[in-house]
Chains A and B, each alone.
Chain A
């Protein structure tokens, strides 16, 4: 890169490599930048190698075109009225006036915020002890196992997890059947309604793995010596928790709350499935404007108001949470201490996590024409039914096509972006990172609506590719961030060492950094695949006539709960489990082998604390 600069500056004659010449002064650089013709600019960019600022461009463009452009159109639509089901290009504030003058709308928004806020808070509070246990009381070597056990349910279909709870608490569910059997009640008690506790339980259940991961990561990166120091200075465990652990982990707690809040706020399917017609959260209200009433302008207004309120909430929470600065490097010491209560709590939580899917698998083998208990006999014919169901097999195939395409696009573009971002500093880095990450912070329901309005405005037909594009926008930030975290954890000196030994930058990157970042890439790809296979909220909106598996399941759940749904669910559970285990084995296998080699090379006793 120095050689290209030398030609543009009046640097003294260069002997041997350009890299050895004196660095140009600030003035030289400025002059060069101004007078650079396009051809030379391109040549210069080519020489930037891994630091080439063009690398994140495709990813940023995808988000810009697929996210911000539709969002702008959505904003424009919110100022247009709908007359006889047709949007009229006539600027007005009427949609907004309607929202604030008709009580139902703003009340629903407030009520939904309150409800979702409470449910998210419960999720975070209940998750914290478990995350704390895994991050501080479990031996480092066993932590991965606990983390996997906790997040495996996250890899199973969202809708199926809702369905599993219907099996427990629904009108035909386990609890009602039991109550009726022992004669406590003659008709099913409606546990699932908008104002009933069951919906909170279901949401907590659905969001637990997500909240767990964010909180766990925040606690785990805390220096364990910090807790020893506070104990050393006289703090009892409870005081250590309130004065050290919670303040340091607070950003993680807030992040867990935010993610729970956003996914719950944008989820119109769960309230619809378990709350029936009563299950009206704000997101249902938005969807209704597009489904039945064809009030696109007003729907856009409702979506915009949701965006604005979530943005305000984010700002408030960010300000309240503040920033925790990491200090220094530390050795990861670990001293085992028993924590019987935390252990009991954690085991209980796992039971809570695994009971619904276990029941689901059990019911899949139940030889009864109705989905539910009692268990009358063992059969596998529900499973063979699944494979003879042409519609279902077709929708599965569609889902796989979408997921594979979305994964390939987001892994390639996400990795390219992460490579440059991990090396960049300053404003451009912040901009790129922000652009790519922003879809994480907005509910997919808004994204879906923005996309269909955008397509509609531009007169583009919906189809399979719109589903893929929508999925890429959702998975790209996840893949990019996971690869980025991995790349930033690497010691850059290793690459410099490779270059010192004669490797060119790309060669050094592929032979040194890629193998080490592979677990991040594989994990990112797996998560992207699982997310895409499971995506319903967005897909439901952006699909043309295509049916993915979640769409099929949603349709069936809405009509009638049949036993073959149990069988599909059990199969999907099994498949997710296999995929996850495989991915993890691939991802950590390398690490494991390397670590074992390192350990066997060390002389005895060195691995112990001295």
Chain B
């Protein structure tokens, strides 16, 4: 099956700048998006995610690399010659046209007959919950309505690929959650393919089928959200999605086991297949796998550490407890309300002595992106 979108070795550099804005000398940005998929590009600002999206939309010409949509190379095509439509970060609604004219604009360019145009505009507005508002001025719409208007304008052309450039960034939390649900519903009802750019890992996990995590112009990992949390490949990914506590130390690699020695504890666990022999290694202790116990009630002393409670944050569904093991090491654990009830309120009090423990199979070993001379940071320079 042909991928709906196939990007191969994309690179972008701007004149007068000494490094790539996208890609590195050794590798470009490559990924595929399948039909009906909601694919998210996730990363901090400046990581290259918007540049990638703009290359796909045709607004930025890549320095090298190709973009194929439904098997056709569109790299040299103008935006108006591509089967993509974009929901812009700023919405870019046309202020001199009413809502209906804004949504109809793309169909007009396609010379769709009047009757069909009106019907499709009506449909699109219904789909985003703005039914009957054709005659509204853009300035009369609220922020959330403008967001929906931009969405309607983009989907009315039934693009092969819908590009979303941080479209929910300007909305408040409640509205953002609601729009996330609606995007997922829209995807289900239309079967459309989405590429979604965001810096919000919760949003990406909530709506995306697969996520590409980007850092300094390259994709560091592409996976389903649950796999990203369960098996981050680098310490960068683990820390960006906040997967758990990252522990650094002297690592010994065996064929299928890794042993990492930290002054305060030794972590043993399964060696993931991607971890090659020369990579620097760090360990991740997933927050929801770390358990808390009273110091005298630890089941397995080899996979445990003792410390004092530094702070507790209640998130609404869990207590995030930070336990200070030593000057350098603080281990975080997420406790459910029931667990806390079982252990007693004592465990939430600051400075009380507790133990943290985990099962060896839950320790995730990753490539350490922050080690000197390693990782993408150094490679991004030309």
Contacts and interface: CB of A to CB of B under 8 A. Distances in A.
The binding surface of chain B is classed by DSSP as: loop
B60 to A, nearest CB: 6
A608 interface: yes
B56 to A, nearest CB: 11
B21 interface: yes
Interface stretch (B90-98, B114-122, B233-241): B90-98
B100 to A, nearest CB: 14
B137 interface: yes
A600 to B, nearest CB: 15
Contacts of B110: 234
A329 B47 CA distance: 23
A324 B85 contact: no
Interface in A552-610: 604-606, 608-610
Interface in B77-104: 78-80, 84-86, 88-96
A156 B59 CA distance: 41
Interface in B56-89: 57-60, 78-80, 84-86, 88-89
Interface in B109-166: 109-110, 137-139, 143, 146, 153-154, 157
B94 A606 contact: no
Contacts of A228: 57, 59, 79, 86, 88, 92
A610 B46 contact: yes
Contacts of A244: 94
Given A234-B110, A248-B96, A331 B89 contact: yes
B22 to A, nearest CB: 9
Classify chain B: how many residues form its interface, as a range: 35 or more
B138 A233 contact: no
Nearest to B104: A233
B11 to A, nearest CB: 14
B375 interface: no
A85 interface: no
B153 A233 contact: yes
Contacts of B322: none
Classify chain A: how many residues form its interface, as a range: 20 to 34
A328 interface: yes
Interface in A342-369: none
7 smallest beta-carbon distances between A and B, as pairs: A233-B106, A234-B109, A225-B92, A330-B90, A231-B79, A229-B92, A327-B95
B53 to A, nearest CB: 10
Given A225-B88, A228-B59, A325 B138 contact: yes
Given A225-B90, A247-B96, A608-B21, A335 B59 contact: yes
B45 A231 contact: no
Contacts of B43: 610
Contacts of B94: 226, 229-230, 244, 248
Contacts of B157: 233-234
A232 interface: yes
B49 interface: yes
Contacts of A606: 45-46
Contact of B84 (A232, A330, A610): A232
B50 A610 contact: yes
Interface of A: 223, 225-226, 228-236, 239, 243-244, 247-248, 324-331, 335, 604-606, 608-610
B24 interface: no
A229 B89 contact: no
A232 B90 contact: no
A223 B49 contact: no
B45 A327 contact: no
A604 B47 CA distance: 11
Contacts of A325: 95-96, 137-139
A236 B80 contact: yes
A225 B58 CA distance: 13
A233 B85 contact: yes
A609 B88 contact: no
Given A236-B80, A610-B46, A331 B92 contact: no
Contacts of B47: 610
21 contacts: A225-B92, A229-B86, A229-B92, A231-B78, A232-B85, A233-B109, A233-B153, A233-B154, A234-B109, A234-B110, A234-B157, A236-B78, A236-B80, A248-B94, A325-B95, A327-B93, A328-B90, A328-B91, A331-B90, A605-B46, A609-B60
Residue with the greatest number of chain A CB neighbours at <10 A, chosen from B59, B138, B143, B146: B59
Residue with the greatest number of chain B CB neighbours at <10 A, chosen from A225, A325, A606: A225
Interface string B282-313: 00000000000000000000000000000000
A609 B47 CA distance: 9
A468 to B, nearest CB: 43
Contacts of B314: none
B105 interface: yes
Residue with the greatest number of chain A CB neighbours at <10 A, chosen from B58, B78, B79, B153: B79
B245 interface: no
Nearest to A240: B80
Contacts of A236: 78, 80
Contacts of A328: 90-91, 93, 143, 146
Contacts of B17: 608
A598 to B, nearest CB: 15
B96 A231 contact: no
Given A325-B138, A327-B95, A331-B90, A233 B105 contact: yes
A236 B46 CA distance: 30
Contacts of A329: 90
Interface string B236-251: 0000000000000000
B88 A229 contact: yes
A228 B14 CA distance: 19
Contact of A610 (B49, B86, B93, B154): B49
Given A228-B86, A232-B59, A325-B96, 7 more contacts: A232-B84, A235-B105, A247-B96, A248-B96, A327-B93, A335-B60, A608-B46
